[in-house]
Structure formats: structure tokens, C-alpha cells
Amino acid sequence: MSGVVALDTFDPEGTKYMRELFPDVIEPGHPSHPSWPDHAVGLFVAKSKVTADIIQRTKRLRFIVRHGAGYDNIDAEACKKKGVILCNLPGISATNVAEVALALAGACSKNLIELSRQLRTGEKLNKRCRSLYSAALLTGKTFGIVGGGRIGQLTARKFIGAFEGRIMMYDPYIPTNDASPWTTIPHVRVEILEDLLPVVDVLSLHVPLLETTKDLITLPLLRQMKSTAILINCARGGVVNEEDLWTALRERIIASAGVDAWVSEPPTREVYGDIFDLENLVMTPHIGGSPMEVQTATCMSMVDHMKEMMNGKPPRDRVV
């Protein structure tokens, strides 16, 4: 037996490919699935939590491949201590995440969701209606990119292509040498986040959730932004302090926000209550990796990563 376990359920086409390469893969519903820590050598993970305690209890585990770029649901430090190789899949959903960021910025700037709601409920709209009057132009505006990886690069290019935007970028970890992809993207790089906040019209976040990025955006920083500014979070929920963001929206400290990444996912009214009623909040339920073609490509790449490691090849996209 290969000892490969799928901790979660994946898309049909990707699952078919997984079964072709690993005919004896143990999937949810299999009698042996609940006892996977006793026998798993390789683990496919999507949304399930893999805690330090679980990793410590594993007996044969050597490889974990995370279905997607983020891996905050897996204790990477515990993997390192246990000698388990953890890989992620960066870049596959990057194009769609960038498109979502562009769509959220457009929806926020034109108040599209609130206008749609008002039309559906039969409200009378005229030029005095706040949701009409406050619609803003994006062409020629300044866009701040926090996180200069693949997604940040694509998002910057889309803001330039769609809106002739001026790009400012903050990422203390991206190299500045001639080999950097940012050399082909017109932009101004800032050394500290505070240099970017007062200037940008749209702030778009594209960083992983780490100890260094948790609560990266808080109320004191939001107060430094323009009152007309838009915040876009297509990264991870914990990157923005949510309570601080809700305060900023209620008090009109910033104009609006487009949120695709939440602390509690999927976001529900039971958890978020009247936050769902904020008219200057555009909400999506973490759809960056949702298109079927993205799901399939991600699953197939996940399977390929595992197969290569099982065959003794060096791990690709290794986290630890």
C-alpha cells in the first residue's frame, strides 16, 4: 500500500486523477480514514486542521501536500520538529485571485452591491442617493499592493491594465535585484507600510497568514488611510483585524472594503451578525480558488507533488 490519505474531499476530475496515480488512496468515508495518523505516509489536505498534537501522534507520516497556497491550517513548526515535509501549491489560483481583487475594487468603487440591493427591493434611486452619489473613478488612481509574490504581481498588472493605475508596493522580503519580476512592473516600492497607507486609493492585500502578518492591518493604520480609500483582502482573514475593520467601515474612516478572506470560514450571519448589513462592505466567501478549472489544476498538481516525493524526487514548493 502507498499509505496515501486524502484528509478532505476534492473536485471530481482531480479526484479521478488522484485515484489513477494512487489506486489505494484512503478517502473520507473509508473505514480506515478516522485512524489515518496510525498509517498515513502521505497526506493530502485542503481545509482540515492538522494540529501539532495530531502530527505528534502520527506513526509513519513523511509528506503533507496542502491543496492551495496558504497553509495556516497546518502546524508547520510541528512538521519541522517531526521531520515531516510540508509542501504547498503557490501560483495556481493566482490569476483568479487577482481577478477577484479587481472585481472587488470595481464593486466597491461603484457601490454595485448596494445599488443592486436597492433596485431589487424597489427603492427609488436618484442623484441624492448616497450609493449613487459616492461612486468613484478608479482610472489613474494609486493602488497599494501589500505582498509582492505571484498574486501581488498579477494584481498590480491588472490594476495597471484596467485602470492605468499607479502602483505602490510593500514587501520587505521580495528581492530588489534585476531578476525580480517587479523590474518589469512600473511601481514605487516603499520600505515601511506607513509610507504607503496615506497615499493609496485602493489597498490590496496578498500575504500569507504568519506570526509576522497576523493583524497586519489594525485601526490605527486604517486611520492613516484616505477617507475615500478602499481596502481589498484576498489574502487571509487574520491579516486584517476584523473588529477594527468593521469599526472603520461603520465610522466611515475608509470608504469601503471588499473582503474575500475571513477569520471564520465560510462566513455566516450566525458568526458575523449585522456585519452582513454594512452597505459599504462587499463580501465573497473566499472564492479566489473556486473556479472548477482552478480546483482541478490544483488537485492534479497536489497529486503530482506527492507522486514525485514518493518516487524519491526532491520536494517542490517545500515549506518545511
Catalytic residue among 265, 269, 293, 318: 265
Alpha helices in the chain (DSSP H): 12-21, 36-39, 52-57, 76-82, 94-110, 112-120, 130-133, 150-163, 219-222, 242-250, 269-272, 292-310
The residues near 294 (Cβ < 8 Å, ≥ 6 apart) are: 92, 93, 96
- Catalytic (active site) residue 99: no
Q: Give the model's pLDDT for residue 124.
A: 79
pTM over 0.75: yes
Q: Give the model's pLDDT for residue 10.
A: 97
Q: Give the model's pLDDT for residue 127.
A: 56
Q: Give the model's pLDDT for residue 95.
A: 96
Catalytic residue among 67, 166, 286, 305: 286
pLDDT tens, the chain, 320 aa long: 789 999 999 999 999 999 999 999 999 999 999 999 999 999 999 999 999 999 999 999 999 999 999 999 999 999 999 999 999 999 899 999 999 999 999 999 999 998 898 889 998 776 555 655 567 999 999 999 999 999 999 999 999 999 999 999 999 999 878 788 999 999 999 999 999 999 999 999 999 999 999 999 999 999 999 999 999 999 999 999 999 999 999 999 999 999 999 999 999 999 999 999 999 999 999 999 889 999 999 999 999 999 999 999 999 999 99
- Catalytic (active site) residue 236: yes
Catalytic residue among 66, 67, 166, 236: 236
Q: Give the model's pLDDT for residue 175.
A: 86
Q: Give the model's pLDDT for residue 177.
A: 80
Dihedral sign from CA coordinates of 235, 240, 246, 249 = negative
Q: Compute the distance between CA of residue 248 and CA of residue 281 in angstroms, rounded to an integer.
A: 11
Q: Compute the distance between CA of residue 46 and CA of residue 305 in angstroms, rounded to an integer.
A: 14
Q: Give the model's pLDDT for residue 92.
A: 94
- Catalytic (active site) residue 286: yes
What residue type is assigned to position 271 of the chain?
V
Q: Compute the distance between CA of residue 139 and CA of residue 68 in angstroms, rounded to an integer.
A: 32
Q: Compute the distance between CA of residue 316 and CA of residue 320 in angstroms, rounded to an integer.
A: 11
Q: Give the model's pLDDT for residue 78.
A: 98
Q: Give the model's pLDDT for residue 134.
A: 62
